[in-house]
Structure 1
Amino acid sequence: MRLTPRFLQQACRITFYTRSTCSLCTTAKGVLESLQTKSPFYLIEKDVDMAHHKKWKDIYDFDVPVIHVEKSSAAEDGNPSADQKLMHRFTEDQVSSLMEKVLASSR
């Protein structure tokens, strides 16, 4: 699916903090990929082990996987509040509910 500018203004952006050697991250990515086929969103993946993501490694080194959910028109490197993120294990329903909450709060 091609994401249009109008879609991106009305959709959520999910930033996925991960690492390649993390089995929980692999499971979480599967949850996000499955959900994306049902409720499209813009996904940004950041491997905390990459040198240019050191800021996020310092924050989430022992907590990956983590997702930040925000309205896609928000600033990319903003720091969402605690009620806009999920950590470790999460289901499609939990992510979907958080997406709905974020979109509802921005109306």
Structure 2
Amino acid sequence: MTRPNLINQCFQTKGKNEIWLGNLTYIPTKAGTLYLSVFIDIYSRKIVGWAMGNRMQDQLVTDAFNQAYHRERPKEGLIVHTDQGSQYTGARFQDLLRKKNANLA
């Protein structure tokens, strides 16, 4: 299920931890492919959470988000903007966002 684009490509905020961008990328190595999940705060442009693993699963995204959330302690209503891939739209990540009162954009 896709979500509404709550930020309408406006990548600016008035303060930190209002909008985070989430992304997954792969890193080829001699030993195989690694996957990196990151969350970036739009205001500070800082990586607030990350996780790396050898499988691109929703657990990687939840680990990175949990790291960011525990470090930054954002206020209720955080907007999380992603590419709407299955790792972000799946039940595990959606449940986590609901528990943290965050919104997927």
Q: Normalising by the residue count of structure 1, what TM-score does the alignment of the two structures yield?
A: 0.37
Structure with more relative contact order (C-alpha pairs < 8 Å, separation 6 or more): 1
Relative to its length, the structure with more strand (as a share) is 2
